[in-house]
Amino acid sequence: PVIYVLNGPNLNLLGKRQPHIYGGKTLADVETEVRGLASELGFDIRFHQSNREYEIIDWIHEAREDGAAVVINPAAFTHTSVAILDALNAFEGPVIEIHISNVHQRESFRHHSFVSLRADGIIVGMGTDGYLLALRGAISRLNAQRS
Protein backbone atom coordinates (compact mmCIF):
# COMPACT_ATOMS: atom_id res chain seq x y z
CA PRO A 1 0.00 0.00 0.00
CA VAL A 2 1.03 3.53 -0.86
CA ILE A 3 0.80 6.80 1.05
CA TYR A 4 1.21 10.12 -0.69
CA VAL A 5 2.76 12.84 1.47
CA LEU A 6 2.08 16.14 -0.31
CA ASN A 7 3.52 19.50 0.62
CA GLY A 8 2.44 22.89 -0.63
CA PRO A 9 4.15 26.21 -1.31
CA ASN A 10 7.22 27.42 0.56
CA LEU A 11 7.71 24.12 2.38
CA ASN A 12 10.85 23.62 0.27
CA LEU A 13 12.29 26.29 2.61
CA LEU A 14 11.50 24.30 5.75
CA GLY A 15 14.32 24.65 8.29
CA LYS A 16 15.32 28.03 6.90
CA ARG A 17 11.91 29.68 6.82
CA GLN A 18 10.72 31.21 10.15
CA PRO A 19 12.33 28.45 12.25
CA HIS A 20 10.71 29.88 15.40
CA ILE A 21 7.38 28.86 13.84
CA TYR A 22 8.23 25.83 11.70
CA GLY A 23 11.30 24.40 13.49
CA GLY A 24 14.82 23.63 12.33
CA LYS A 25 14.31 20.44 10.35
CA THR A 26 14.43 20.57 6.58
CA LEU A 27 11.85 18.92 4.34
CA ALA A 28 14.54 16.36 3.44
CA ASP A 29 14.88 15.54 7.17
CA VAL A 30 11.10 15.11 7.39
CA GLU A 31 11.12 12.91 4.29
CA THR A 32 13.80 10.66 5.83
CA GLU A 33 11.77 10.29 9.05
CA VAL A 34 8.54 9.60 7.17
CA ARG A 35 10.21 6.99 4.95
CA GLY A 36 11.78 5.33 8.00
CA LEU A 37 8.47 4.95 9.84
CA ALA A 38 6.65 3.86 6.67
CA SER A 39 9.16 1.15 5.87
CA GLU A 40 8.96 -0.11 9.49
CA LEU A 41 5.20 -0.37 9.04
CA GLY A 42 5.41 -1.85 5.54
CA PHE A 43 4.13 1.07 3.46
CA ASP A 44 5.50 2.83 0.37
CA ILE A 45 5.75 6.61 0.32
CA ARG A 46 5.42 9.07 -2.54
CA PHE A 47 6.81 12.26 -1.03
CA HIS A 48 6.33 15.50 -3.00
CA GLN A 49 6.51 19.26 -2.61
CA SER A 50 5.46 21.96 -5.03
CA ASN A 51 4.89 25.68 -5.12
CA ARG A 52 2.39 25.12 -7.96
CA GLU A 53 -1.22 24.32 -7.20
CA TYR A 54 -1.75 22.18 -10.34
CA GLU A 55 1.08 19.81 -9.41
CA ILE A 56 -0.55 19.08 -6.07
CA ILE A 57 -3.85 18.47 -7.85
CA ASP A 58 -2.14 16.10 -10.31
CA TRP A 59 -0.58 14.09 -7.43
CA ILE A 60 -4.00 13.77 -5.77
CA HIS A 61 -5.32 12.39 -9.08
CA GLU A 62 -2.40 9.95 -9.14
CA ALA A 63 -3.18 8.86 -5.55
CA ARG A 64 -6.73 8.19 -6.71
CA GLU A 65 -5.48 5.80 -9.40
CA ASP A 66 -3.24 4.07 -6.84
CA GLY A 67 -5.93 3.48 -4.19
CA ALA A 68 -3.60 5.25 -1.77
CA ALA A 69 -4.00 7.41 1.33
CA VAL A 70 -3.04 11.09 1.31
CA VAL A 71 -1.22 13.05 4.01
CA ILE A 72 -1.26 16.68 2.95
CA ASN A 73 0.20 19.92 4.23
CA PRO A 74 -1.33 22.27 1.67
CA ALA A 75 0.50 25.24 3.31
CA ALA A 76 -1.00 28.55 2.15
CA PHE A 77 -3.27 26.73 -0.36
CA THR A 78 -5.13 25.41 2.72
CA HIS A 79 -6.77 28.77 3.07
CA THR A 80 -7.41 29.53 -0.59
CA SER A 81 -7.80 26.44 -2.74
CA VAL A 82 -11.23 25.20 -3.76
CA ALA A 83 -9.41 23.30 -6.54
CA ILE A 84 -7.43 21.18 -4.06
CA LEU A 85 -10.62 20.54 -2.08
CA ASP A 86 -12.36 19.43 -5.30
CA ALA A 87 -9.47 17.09 -6.15
CA LEU A 88 -9.68 15.55 -2.66
CA ASN A 89 -13.45 15.21 -3.02
CA ALA A 90 -12.80 13.15 -6.16
CA PHE A 91 -10.47 10.90 -4.14
CA GLU A 92 -11.93 8.05 -2.10
CA GLY A 93 -9.11 7.08 0.25
CA PRO A 94 -8.19 8.46 3.66
CA VAL A 95 -7.03 12.09 3.83
CA ILE A 96 -5.09 13.45 6.79
CA GLU A 97 -4.36 17.19 6.83
CA ILE A 98 -1.30 18.35 8.72
CA HIS A 99 -0.03 21.77 9.77
CA ILE A 100 3.30 22.12 11.49
CA SER A 101 2.26 25.26 13.38
CA ASN A 102 -0.87 25.78 15.44
CA VAL A 103 -2.78 27.73 12.81
CA HIS A 104 -5.53 28.56 15.32
CA GLN A 105 -3.07 30.58 17.38
CA ARG A 106 -2.06 32.65 14.37
CA GLU A 107 -3.67 35.22 12.02
CA SER A 108 -7.41 34.73 11.57
CA PHE A 109 -7.00 34.05 7.81
CA ARG A 110 -5.24 30.82 8.82
CA HIS A 111 -8.22 29.63 10.86
CA HIS A 112 -10.23 28.57 7.85
CA SER A 113 -9.26 25.51 5.82
CA PHE A 114 -11.00 24.38 2.63
CA VAL A 115 -9.18 21.06 2.93
CA SER A 116 -10.68 20.38 6.40
CA LEU A 117 -14.08 19.97 4.73
CA ARG A 118 -12.72 16.71 3.29
CA ALA A 119 -10.01 15.64 5.76
CA ASP A 120 -10.74 12.53 7.84
CA GLY A 121 -8.32 13.79 10.49
CA ILE A 122 -6.22 16.87 11.16
CA ILE A 123 -2.90 17.25 12.98
CA VAL A 124 -2.07 20.80 13.99
CA GLY A 125 0.68 22.44 16.02
CA MET A 126 2.80 19.34 16.69
CA GLY A 127 5.79 20.65 14.74
CA THR A 128 7.33 18.42 12.10
CA ASP A 129 6.56 15.38 14.33
CA GLY A 130 3.04 15.97 13.05
CA TYR A 131 4.01 14.24 9.79
CA LEU A 132 4.70 10.99 11.69
CA LEU A 133 1.43 11.30 13.60
CA ALA A 134 -0.42 11.99 10.34
CA LEU A 135 1.24 8.96 8.73
CA ARG A 136 0.09 6.72 11.59
CA GLY A 137 -3.40 8.19 11.26
CA ALA A 138 -3.46 7.56 7.50
CA ILE A 139 -2.33 3.95 8.01
CA SER A 140 -4.94 3.22 10.64
CA ARG A 141 -7.64 4.68 8.37
CA LEU A 142 -6.37 2.65 5.40
CA ASN A 143 -6.39 -0.53 7.51
CA ALA A 144 -9.92 0.22 8.72
CA GLN A 145 -11.08 0.79 5.12
CA ARG A 146 -9.57 -2.51 3.99
CA SER A 147 -10.96 -4.71 6.78
3-state secondary structure 101-129: CCHHHCCHHHCCCCHHHCCCEEEECCHHH
Tell me whether residue 48 is one of the annotated catalytic residues: no
Annotated binding-site residues for substrate read 73, 79, 86, 100-101, 110
Within 14-81, residue ranges assigned H as helices are 19-22, 27-41, 53-66
CA–CA dist 93, 67 (Å, integer): 7
Residues 130 and 139: their CA atoms lie apart, in Å, by 14
* Chosen residue from 27, 75, 88, 138 binding ligand DQA by CB under 6 A: 75
Rounded Cα distance, 28 and 124, in Å: 20
Q: Does 100 bind ligand DQA (CB under 6 A)?
A: yes
One of 48, 99, 111, 112 is an active-site residue; which one? 99
Contact between 10 and ligand DQA (CB under 6 A)? yes
Map residues 24-63 to x or -, x wherever contact with ligand DQA holds by CB under 6 A.
----------------------------------------
Binding site for ligand DQA (CB under 6 A): 10, 73, 75-76, 78, 99-101, 103, 110
Show which residues are catalytic: 22, 99
